[in-house]
Amino acid sequence: MQSGDAQLDLRADWVITIALCLACAVMVGVVLLDQRARARESPRDLPQASLIDLNSASVAEIELLPEIGPALAARIVESREKDGPFHSAKDLDRVRGIGKGTIERVTPLVECVLPKDSP
């Protein structure tokens, strides 16, 4: 049988162990929530340093932009082929289905490099 002091020491060890385990679980939860929040903030699958050139990007590349699905990306390429190059992201307003909010969200993610043969 253990003495009273030994039992108190054993209980204190268990309390400390459980407290440390709970603290670790809370820290892991905070890290996971932070990673989830950051994933929602950044555009899907788009590296931060890359800009999508609206005048040369494929439909698949344009789909990487937020709120741009396959149909809208195809309309952007069609507009480029039919109406000529985009001079800025604001020119996206000529594409049916793209509104002011979408233009504001994609502007920092795109560029419009004019082809050498365009005026």
45 contact partners, CB below 8 Å, separation of at least 6: 64
Model-level pTM greater than 0.85?
Answer: no
Phi, psi of 66 (to 5 degrees): -65, 140
Amino acid at site 79: S
Can you tell me whether residue 27 is helix, strand or coil? helix
78 contact partners, CB below 8 Å, separation of at least 6: none
Provide the residue ranges of all domains of the chain, joining segments of one domain with +.
1-41, 52-111
Cα–chain-centroid distance for residue 83? 31
- What is the chain's alpha carbon radius of gyration, rounded to the nearest angstrom? 27
User: From 3.40.1190.20, 3.40.50.1820, 1.10.150.320, 1.10.240.10, which CATH number describes the 52-111 domain?
Assistant: 1.10.150.320
- Look up residue 51 and give its two tokens: 């800009």
Region for 84 from its dihedrals, namely left if φ exceeds 0, alpha if ψ lies in -120 to 50, beta otherwise: left
Question: Residue 12 has what pLDDT?
Answer: 80
pLDDT in tens, 59-116: 999 999 999 999 999 999 999 999 999 999 999 999 999 999 999 999 999 999 998 8
Residue 45, pLDDT above cutoff 70: no
In the chain, what percentage of residues exceed pLDDT 90? 54
